[in-house]
Each structure stands twice: as C-alpha cells, then as structure tokens.
A and B are shown apart, each in its own frame.
Chain A
Amino acid sequence: MNTKLFSFSFEKPIFSGFSGSARFLAGMEGVQDLGNILLNSLEDSKNVAGIQYNPDQEEYWNIIRKKIKTFTDAELYFLIWSPKIRDKKIRKLISNEQSQRR
C-alpha cells in the first residue's frame, strides 16, 4: 500500500468524517484535484482508500488497521488537519501497521 499524506494547518477538522472533508476539498480551488481523488475513494474502488486523523474517534486505529488489511494494493490518502499532529509520527505509526500485515 502506497501512503500519501496531506496535512493542513487547521485548528481541527471542519468535518469529523473523511467523506465530508473530501467534498469540502473538491469544492475549493487549489485542492480540487485532491478532493476529487478523495471523492472517488468513497466509491467501491479498491485502488484508492482514504482516512483522516481524528483523535476524537475512539475506533480510529481499528479503522486504519481495517483499511490497511482490506485495501492491500490501494493508495491510502491520509488527511491531517491539526497542526499539532506531526507527519513523521503518523507515517511511523502507519508504517508499523503495514509491516505487521506483511
């Protein structure tokens, strides 16, 4: 799985769910292409999967694990809104999850 990570300097996500964020990005200029790719990931395609970091979501890491398990050959698009979350930390955590699946 190839992971693409996008981070934004927002205080918190506008929408807590990935699908709302995808629609927001698709409506704005400059990030529209990314938004459209993310919107496609909402369909049943196995090529693209998406998730956003949401520390308030209790089941968060279970969802990530499920995505990594289900979409083994997909590109994983990862959205981070809060500037407090460091990219490196997230990349390391995802990498660890992926290596455990191999």
Chain B
Amino acid sequence: MRFQLHKKIYHFIWSIWKKKSLVVNGYCISYCELPWMLLIGSKGSKSWFQNGMCITYIPDQTIMIFISSKENPSTISYTIYHEYIEGLCSLKQREVEVSSLFLQAMESLKEYDSNIGGQFMKSVEKKEDKTQQSCHCIALAIELALAKSEMDSDKFRAYLENALLERL
C-alpha cells in the first residue's frame, strides 16, 4: 500500500517535474533532480552513493530516475548510467542487450581484477534479495567497464577499488 502510494507520487512528480537528460555511452537517459528531502524514506529501488542518493522506478516500462541534487557532479553520469542499466534488467525486450553488455564488461574488467566475478558472486550469495543484488552487480560491471574506457589507469583503479569495497 505504502509502496503503491510512493509509486503514484513519483509517477506524478515525473509527469510534472522538469526533466534533465544525459547521453551516456550512446544512451540518452532522462532523469529528475530532486531535493534530497523528497527522496529520503521512499521504498523504491534505492541506492545510496557517497554524496547523494538515487531512486529508480519502472512503472509501465518507463525507467524513471530520480537523483538527489547533492549527487557528485563528477560521477553523475556513472550514477545515472548505473540506475538506467539496472532498470533495463527488468525490461524483457532489453535482456539480450543488457546481458551481452554484462558479459563484455566482465571480460574487460578481468584485466584489472581477475577475481571480480568471484566478488560479485559472494555479494549475491550473502544478500537476501539475490535477484536485486544480481541486477546491481550487472549494472555495476557495465558502469565500471564504461569508467575503464573513459578514465586514466590510476583514476580507474581507485574508482574500481572504491566500488568493490563500498558498493557490493
């Protein structure tokens, strides 16, 4: 009931709020930037980040991404890309695309960390909601592969280490 109410509220906000968009890795992704206070306490798909918060809703096959205005501007494209990919996991018609991206990403990331698949597996095993955690790992792998292609080696290594330590 509470979740349904939240869904309706966010659906309404999505329809009236001025949306922003970002092109990340060829995807044009729309999102709403909301005050942090409006996002807190919601029961959607929720992820915490170092400097803000992001929530995704996917009613009627529309991926609605809401992010906190406190989100770190230097990593905002990765945050949004991650949430978008996580949303795509739930869309049947995009499954082949997402799973192919995941497989390519894992191949690419093994250059830096040969045990990355093992770390993902461990994180899935210890979570109660294994399906949700798997979607998170899929999105994280694809996000990290994009970061690898855009960042210099040292910066990416720090980004990767932080992601594996703080976000699994």
Contacts and interface: CB of A to CB of B under 8 A. Distances in A.
A32 B95 CA distance: 19
A23 B105 CA distance: 11
Interface stretch (A11-19, A43-51, A67-75, A94-102): A11-19
B138 A14 contact: yes
B21 to A, nearest CB: 27
Nearest to A23: B99
Interface string A1-39: 000000011111111110111111011111110000000
A23 B92 CA distance: 15
A10 B121 contact: no
A19 B118 contact: no
A29 B117 contact: yes
B117 A23 contact: no
Interface footprint category on A: 20 to 34
B37 interface: no
B95 A10 contact: no
Interface stretch (B52-60, B73-81, B129-137, B151-159): B129-137
Contact of B89 (A15, A26, A32): A15
Nearest to B130: A10
Contacts of B118: 29-30
Contacts of B100: 23
Interface of A: 8-17, 19-24, 26-32, 81
Interface of B: 89, 92, 95-96, 98-100, 102-103, 105-106, 115-121, 124, 129-132, 134-135, 138, 141
